Amino acid sequence: MGAGADWRAAPREDRRSGLSQQRKCVGPVLRKTCFSVCVATAGFVLLLGVSLLYLPDPYKPEQFVPEEKHAVTLLIWTHPFGRYRKLPNCSALYQIGGCTLTDDVHVYPQADAVVIHHRDVATGTADLPPEPRPLEQKWVWMNYESPSHTSGLWRFEGVYNLTMTYRTDSDIFLPYGYLLPRGSKTEGLNDRFAHPLLAPSRSHLLRPRLVAWIISNWSESHARVALYHQLRRYIRVDVFGRAGRPLPEDSGGSVVRLVGRYQFYLALENSQHTDYITEKLWNAVRAGAVPVVLGPSRQNYERFLPPEAFIHVDDFPTVRGLARYLLMLRRNPARLKRHLDWRGDYSLHQPAFWAEHYCTVCRAVRRTRGRADSVQDLTRWFHS
């Protein structure tokens, strides 16, 4: 089998999806009972799914803070990956007041917190700020790569005060994207950044093209490439990106337009880790293609999306089974619809790198002011 079997390295998780329940309903006698049970289960699971979605910090209402504790000075130690970006106005963009953001190192002695992007200090492009650090100052570890692409962690044990990553259990949690139940109170952040998702129309259900995949870093050692090799034996997969056909242009908008012509999108992460769910998934969601996911477990995805909103490769014992399921959905718009109906209840928010990240840190620094925080087990935690 070799590489062919590797893509399913993670153990199969307990499935909570109403859809997988339904697939078990096969006997003609049992079908009717099973159908009502399944509908009830699906409904319950959906409710559960909605209430379990993890929302990041901006959606926790800000508590009253006395004026003198209000102002925060945040020093951005390096522009991530050495790429300069104008710093945002948090008040104008996100209604987060009292934040002074600066990249001027001379402000270091007065900064309430310093945001340090992991890659830049790990590769030696930048040094850590000088010690001793000002009393009360917080150092924030910011990283959006997966553990597989995060090197030199051991050198930063006992250095930081707060973590900021895509992990739900970070001190400051901000994922690559998140759903907002429509009509929910979204205090603290204007939802002009949220894209309302739409319940599927007829033409949506009848999109002519089947499966798309955009891949820039092709590596035979990746589980996602092994999965692709198997999948294309059964169905047509249109491959775009550096490893396939060129993209129309390399902007987010055009990716969404391209993927919007397809029924399914392969949202395959480069490595499989807790909560590591990237823009690959969210671009597909935005485009209305049902994401076929390879990443952490189904249960882990269900922290972020309703169970029927995605198809997990672990839902099927074989790649052939997955391919047959996609082909079945293509022939049955009513079945496909079940994977898309949830959309009518949500908006999608994809935080802008790095403006929203900085402003979110600023809020968190205000919230944790006067508290001693220390990140002791960075390596073990991030790999867990």
Ligand X SMILES: *[C@@H]1O[C@H](CO)[C@@H](O)[C@H](O)[C@H]1NC(C)=O
> Where does this chain touch ligand X (CB under 6 A) — which range of 44-52, 175-183, 242-250, 372-380?
372-380
Tell me if residue 142 falls in helix, strand or coil. Answer: strand
Give the number of residues in contact with ligand X, rule: CB under 6 A.
Answer: 14
Q: Catalytic annotation on 145?
A: yes
Only one of the segments 85-93, 177-185, 306-314, 346-354 lies at the binding site for ligand X (rule: CB under 6 A); that segment is: 85-93
Task: Read off the amino acid at residue 336.
Answer: L
- CA neighbours closer than 13 Å in the CB half-sphere of residue 52: 16
Secondary structure letter of residue 12 according to DSSP: P
For 110, other C-beta atoms within 10 Å of its C-beta total 12
Spatial contact of 56 and 167, defined as CB atoms under 8 Å apart: no
Is the CB of residue 186 less than 8 Å from the CB of residue 59? yes
Greatest Cα pair distance, the chain, in angstroms, is 76
Are 360 and 58 contacting, i.e. CB atoms less than 8 angstroms apart?
yes
Angle at 148 between CA 146 and CA 154, to 5 degrees: 95
Q: Which residue number, 1 or 372, has a Cβ lying nearer to ligand X? A: 372
**332 lies in the site for ligand X, by CB under 6 A:** no
For 132, residues 6+ apart whose C-beta sits below 8 A from its C-beta are: none
Give, for 282, the enclosing helix (H) or strand (E).
helix 279-287
Q: How far is the CB of 274 from ligand X (least distance, A)?
A: 18
Binding mask 87-106 for ligand X (x = CB under 6 A): --x-xx--------------
374 touching ligand X, by CB under 6 A? yes
Q: Minimum Å distance from CB 123 to ligand X?
A: 12
**Does residue 372 belong to the site contacting ligand X (CB under 6 A)?**
yes
Part of the chain binding ligand X (CB under 6 A), chosen from 18-26, 176-184, 323-331, 367-375: 367-375
Query: Which amino acid, residue 195?
Result: H
Binders of ligand X among 202-261, rule CB under 6 A? Answer: 217, 219, 221
Position 71 contacts ligand X (CB under 6 A): no
Shortest distance in whole angstroms from residue 218 CB to ligand X: 8
Classified as helix, coil or strand, 368 is coil
Structure tokens at 56: 């990041």
Residues 135-164 that bind ligand X (CB under 6 A): 136, 138, 149, 158, 161
Query: Cβ 133 to ligand X, closest distance in Å?
Result: 7
- In sequence order, what are the beta bridge partners of 262? 209
Q: How far is the CB of 251 from ligand X (least distance, A)?
A: 19
Candidate list 13, 62, 131, 145, residue with the active-site label = 145
Span interacting with ligand X, options 6-14, 103-111, 253-261, 368-376, rule CB under 6 A: 368-376
Which residue numbers are catalytic? 145
Question: Residues interacting with ligand X, by CB under 6 A?
Answer: 89, 91-92, 136, 138, 149, 158, 161, 217, 219, 221, 372-374
